[in-house]
Structure formats: C-alpha cells, structure tokens
Structure 1
Amino acid sequence: MEYLLLQVLNGVQLGLLMFLLAAGLTLTLGIMDLVNLAHGSLYMIGAYIAWTLIGVTDSFVLGALLALPATFLVGVAVEIAVIRRLYARDHLTQVLATFGLILFFNELVRALWGPGGKSIAVPAFLNRTIEILPGVPYPAYRFAIILVGALVAILLAWLVARTRLGMLIRAGASNRRMIGALGVNIELLFSLVFGLGAVFAGLAGLMAAPIASVRIGMGDDILILALVIIVIGGIGSIKGAFIAAMVVGQIDIVGRAFLPDMLKTFMSSSAASSAAPAISQVLVYVLMAAVLVWRPTGLFGQRT
C-alpha cells in the first residue's frame, strides 16, 4: 500500500505537469482555433531560460520567477511575428508553419546554448524527503511540484471563471467574431492568451528540468501526450484538461510501476520491463479512442 501511494503521487505529479502544458494548448486551440505544434518548444525554451537565469542569479527560486515573464515575452513575440498570420489559414497550413517553428527553435537553442544537454540541480532546501504519512517518505521536490501545480490550476480556474479576462476568454471560445464586433481588441486578447499559454508551458519545463535533462527537442514527446489530453478532456475546456491529465498521469505511472510484475508471470523479466512502458502508452491511446467513440467532442467539450 505504501508503494501504491507513492506511485499514485508520482502520477499526480506527472498529471499536473501535463496539465500545465495542456492548459495553454487548449486555450490556444479552443479560443484561436489554432493548431500549434510548437507549444512543446515553449516548454523547452522555458527550461533553457530558467537554466540561464538560475546560473546568473545563483538562486533556483529567483531564476524560476524571472524565467516566467521572459517566457511570456517570447510567446508574445512569436504570436506577433508568426502566429498572428495563421489565424485565417486552414489547419494544414497551421500544422506546417508551427512544425517549422519547432525546427527553428531547435536550431536557435543549438546556436545559443550548444548541442549538449544541460542540468538544473534540485534546490538545496528541497533536496530531501518528507513524510507524507508516518514511515512513508517522499521526495520534497516532487511534492513541491504537486503543490505548485495544484496552486496554478486553482488560480487558472479562478482567472477563467471570475475575472474580466476570463470572461473574454470564455466569450472568445464561444464566438470570437461577436466579441470583436462588441469592440474587444481581439489581437491584444490573442497575444495575452498565447503569452499565458507560453508561461504555463515554460513553468512545466523549468519544474521538470531537475528531474529530466534539459535538451533540444525535450518538448516534442510530451506535446503528443498534451494533445491526447485536450482531445480526451475536450478542446477549450480547462476542467476537461485537468481531469484528463490526472487520468493520463495515473495510467502512465501506475502502469509502468505494476505492469512489469504482472507480465513476469508469463514472460521473462527483461521482456516484461521493456513491454510495460509501451503497454502503458497504448492504454492512454485506447482511452482516447474510447472517449472519441463515446463523445467525439471530449468529456467536457461543447457539443455542436
């Protein structure tokens, strides 16, 4: 039971990281009707900017706090320079253009930071374990990720449901032509939304960096899971993205933790260890297919 609890917490931690990435993606796709394959690149850029600023300030917290507005500015610059020209284009053009942005960002990172990977050390005050229950230790940094992710999820829910900006975001998701006709500056709203999505992606990247390496293309693989999450939860739904991210995180982590022992009953240990991660990923896509069959708009997507 202790091992199960630890793996469930790991699933929550992964789910919250995925939610941060998927939240920005579902905002841009739900409001702007933009298929942005380069969203994972903002995850990577956030991690690299954090690595630089942490080195300059010699403080993980200060460097991370400075990296968020820097990533916001990168997102706004990308929206103004490239993305703004894609709103009126079809989805195929958006896919091709944002795929080109992936290649651009990968080469930009290679030119600015070099081809090798970087590492961000876990801050000293979190480089320990805490007892979540008597006799059940858990890494403090992973627990901090859970707390930060949960806090951001609550703040985002409040922003969307209780503020004027959130009202405009919800109105834009429903009928962006109407709010444009009512005098809302659509270009400014889209820039803010895209920048906000970049902040969420950058926050996920810098929090994941001490656990995984900071490397070129680090956001490409996780982007696929983020797309699966917004399809399951429903395009444009923050609540759907959160619930889907929690489910996907549990399937991935718990499956990797317990499937090997189950598979060892009828195959070798090495084969079971290699097959378990693949089966966990397959289960995620099976869930997505089942949701699409049952509810094509996603769990909380708007029916049309």
Structure 2
Amino acid sequence: MSEDFTEKKARAAAWFRSLRDEIVTSFEALEDAHGTGPVGRFEVTPTTRADGGGGLMSVMRGGRVFEKVGVNVSAVHGTLGERAQKAMAARGVPGMADDPRFWASGISLVAHMVNPHCPAVHMNTRMFWTPHACWFGGGSDLNPCLEYAEDTAHFHAQMQAACDAHDAGYYTKFKAWADEYFFVPHRGRARGVGGIFYDDLNTGDWEADFSFTQDVGRAFLPAFVPLTEKRVDTAWTEADREAQLVHRGLYAEYNLVYDRGTKFGLETGHDANAVLMSLPPLAKWV
C-alpha cells in the first residue's frame, strides 16, 4: 500500500485509549455502588515491547464486584518473526515474505466477577497494519457460569444493534464466527453464550471499518453493565461458586490452547503479564 497511514494509526490508537479510560471509570463506579468491604481500584502498569511500542495494563483484583478484571491498551510495532509471518500468510495477508514489518493497536478486556450470577465477559477491538495490508478486528462475548436467557438476549441485542447500524449482514456473519471461534474442541462445547467476532475486516473503506469498530467498542458497556447491576446482589451458594470455578477452568483452557491473540502476543514478544491478563485468579478442574 502506498498510502501513508500515520494519521490513521494515531487516530485509532487514541480511540482505543479513550475507550479504555471510559471503561475503567465505569467499572470503578460499579465498585463504589455495590457490595461491602474494600473498594477495588485499578492498578496501572506501563508495558513495553522489545522491538517498539507499549501500552498500559490496568488490573483490578479483589474488588467488591470484580474478582479480577484487566483492561489493556497498546500500540506496538516491529518485525514479525517467522512463525507469525507464516500465520499471517496463511490467513491471506499479502507481502509477508517481502516486508514483515507491522504496527498494531487495540484494547483487550476480560472480567471475572465475584458473584457467580454475574457473567464473565471478554471484549477487544484492534487495528493491524503491514506495508501491504490494513484491517480491523474484534468483538465481545459473554461467559456466564450460571446462564440467564434474558441476559444472553440483552447482550446479543446490543451487539446486533452495533452491527445493524453498518451492515444488515454483519450480525449473522459475526455471531456465527464467534460461535465457531470460541468453541473448545477438546470439550465439545462453547466457552460461553457467544457474541460477535470478526477479523481481517478491510472493505476498502477505512473510515467505515473504523467507525464500525468504534461502535462495537461503544456497545460493550450498555451490553454488560446492566447485567452486572441486575445480578451483583443476588445471593449465591457454595455450589454456585463451585460452578463458577469449574467454568473458569474451561475459559483458561481456551485462552491458553486456542486463542489467537494469546499466541500472537507471546510469539511477538509483548509483555507476558499483559498477554496473560485474561486468565482467571482462581479456577478448578474436575
């Protein structure tokens, strides 16, 4: 590509940072409004990548509402290693053999809740650039250990509204992609109740693709926060906690064995603690 993406990279990175700030503020407000005991607050740590760039790792542990939640944002650049080049080429990214430079920015969030009736959740949006291609990816999926049909319906409705504002076919396509992507083959089941997932989005209209990715990010808080507010004060039992811990084991298995972002982050030298932020604080296997 001959186009200079300097300004677009800056806009995308600034947007992901602004979304991070909004989510962190919202989650700390939930801590203030619910529960008893010490109020959770995010600990913010700068992250770096050896080749270039870095970001912020924001993690809250042991809160009233959030047992562990991480909201990471980064903008990194460098040269892809051989394994990453092959993975990109296998996905149809052109020019890897000729020029393996890359730039990437995004936000990644995973929340593990105190109350087993509150669903865990994942969200990320990102922009990826190489000298021969540029695309967006992301999505959000809900991971309850105790499922409520109305919660699933609300979450999906918010995701669908974000999709429908841009393309009538996006929700059906990206929901199916999430169902496939977040499936755990060795367990024969999904890790949660789905959501949307998309990658390699390049319609030829960068502004339209960026706008869609922003709307996916904006949809997250309206999709998730009302569910937390509805369930956070629900009484729970030790059996509920047991179900939560076992379900977290499923989540950990998926992220360590199959998740594309985890593999990419570790293989490209990003801060390991930031990459593995998604893992739950406690989990069990039966």
Task: Give the structure with higher Rg (CA).
Answer: 1
TM-score in same-fold range (> 0.5): no
Task: Return the structure number with greater helix share.
Answer: 1
Task: Return the structure number with greater strand share.
Answer: 2
